[in-house]
Amino acid sequence: MKQKVLEKFLRYIAVDTASDPESETQPSTSKQLNLSRMLVEELRAMGVKDVELDEWGYVMASLPSNLPDGSNVPAIGFIAHVDSAPDASGENINPQIIENYDGSDIVINKERGFVMKVEEFPELLKYKGNTIITTDGTTLLAADDKAGIAEIMTAVEHIMANPDLPHGTIKIGFTPDEEIGRGVDKFDVERFGAEFAYTLDGGEIGELEYENFNAAAAKIFIQGRNIHPGYAKEKMVNAIILGAELNSMLPVEQRPEYTAGYEGFFHIIKFDGTVENANIQYIIRDHDSEKFESKKRLISQCVDFLNKKYGEGTYTLELKDQYYNMKKQVEPHYHIVEKAVQAMEMAGIKPNIKPIRGGTDGARLSFMGLPCPNIFAGGHNFHGKFEFIPAESMEKAVEVILNLVKLYANKDKVIK
């Protein structure tokens, strides 16, 4: 199983699928469809008959129940996203495969002096003896979420090759643009047809998440006034300095680098500017809905204060909610979390239930009527050049999927 999931993973990361937050199309980049088409072809080659790729870039497939009373067993779905993050290049990925990892520092790129030091990444020591896949220091690895795709596809291949394996109806979904927050903008939950689903989009082995951030995006445009610096006294308004002033008003301790667990943050992700005008972008996150609303009020109050100081219209704020904490949508169906815990324990994995310090397609799907916790895909250091994944973690994720299929097939243990 390990070799099969590894082969699929390496094949999928060879396809550049970076999404583009500036694009207004769906999918945001046409190159995502290259992988989607590949997945459709592979599913059909496995013998899956009900497979389609729609105009919005969604791949949906269905494996009909082989149970005599399969209609009484909930249809379950497994979902992953095809796009990779635009934070680093996903083109010409050249993975390094380190077999029987010995627990020492890993040289990512000798020429550039990139070394993944155990001192800085102590989680590496958990994987001594494993097969570790890293980047070459020039791109991301795209384990987020091509590991999830490889795991689902390997599980489907196993099910199709073993027709006597009992299972209810299984739904498979691959989405575009998750990394830019648009993964399920046009996802048709009713057409997908699952009663419950799981995203394979988590981090290290054992992670199980059904809580995530409430999320908002803030864009602020600042209008300055450019005057020749030799004659600027009492006339120039420097938009760059005004932007820095706004940033200084937000609480330092609520930056991502100072937060963990359930603590939310303001994260400045972009600052472009000249003296004449500047643009700042933030993402705002908190698990607690009241604290989330408080953070949005704070940034609005800062903008209002500065407009009074420098003149109305100097700062223009666009504030938009992106997604919400799925906890309240999942808890009424908590048995789906319990099933995931049981599936991990059957695979010899200690479940680590924790809040997502981010979001997944599953968060929005849960609010769209499809309760959807998140299961580990196995990777570490997503979105950057120090990304890595153990092949054994991917193998275990496949095992967890197959265990979930078995658990749901036993209708006597499924609480509806």
List active site positions: 83, 178
**What token pair was written down for 108?**
């990512």
Q: Which amino acid is at 293?
A: E
CA-to-CA distance for 406 and 165, rounded, in angstroms?
Answer: 8
Residue of 159, 281, 154 whose CA lies nearest to 218? 281
Q: Which amino acid is at 134?
A: T
Residue of 24, 25, 85 whose CA lies nearest to 57? 25
